[in-house]
Copies of this chain bind each other. A is one copy, B any other.
Amino acid sequence: MATEMKTKESSVEDSTLKLRPLEKEDFKKGYLELLSQLTQVGEITEKQFNETFDVINSNKSSQVIYVIESTTEKKIVATGTLLAEQKFIHGCGKCGHIEDVVVDNSYRGKHFGQRIISKLVEIAKADGKIYKVILDCNDKNIEFYKKCGFDWKGNEMALYFN
């Protein structure tokens, strides 16, 4: 794709917190443990983590992962992913998908989720070709996403292979 999605570090108010793109070092900073608060992760070696990181990072125009790090704890406490899907519809536009948003249990109620969403929406808008951002959530998160500017649009249907 033409240009990579612009990603940069940006400070969260508290200077002990950093909002930035995922790095390979985050394997040691509990990124996978954080994801396991969302769903099944399984045993992933550092080698597998790095390989997967490279796959995702090889196309920055289509997928970026942001995290919030507690720099005092050297621990990843929140994350979210933005995927940009190339379409023919909407003048060969792109659809942004927000995925895998999770905030560490002990950091809830601090608006970290909102900061992650807001950053991913900002990146999507800056892309210029993305005409909408969508995400799937359970009933209890609808109000949270409404606060982030989203509206209910449809039903997510799923077919699991395992």
Contacts and interface: CB of A to CB of B under 8 A. Distances in A.
A162 B131 contact: yes
A66 to B, nearest CB: 14
Contacts of A155: 136-139, 142, 152, 154-156
A136 B153 CA distance: 9
Which of A32, A52, A154 has the most C-beta atoms of chain B within 10 angstroms of its own C-beta? Answer: A154
Q: Copy number in this complex?
A: 2
A99 interface: yes
Interface in A136-162: 136-139, 142, 145-146, 148-162
A86 B63 contact: yes
Contacts of A138: 154-155
15 contacts: A35-B88, A41-B88, A44-B88, A44-B92, A85-B97, A87-B99, A131-B161, A132-B161, A133-B159, A138-B154, A138-B155, A146-B157, A151-B158, A152-B155, A152-B157
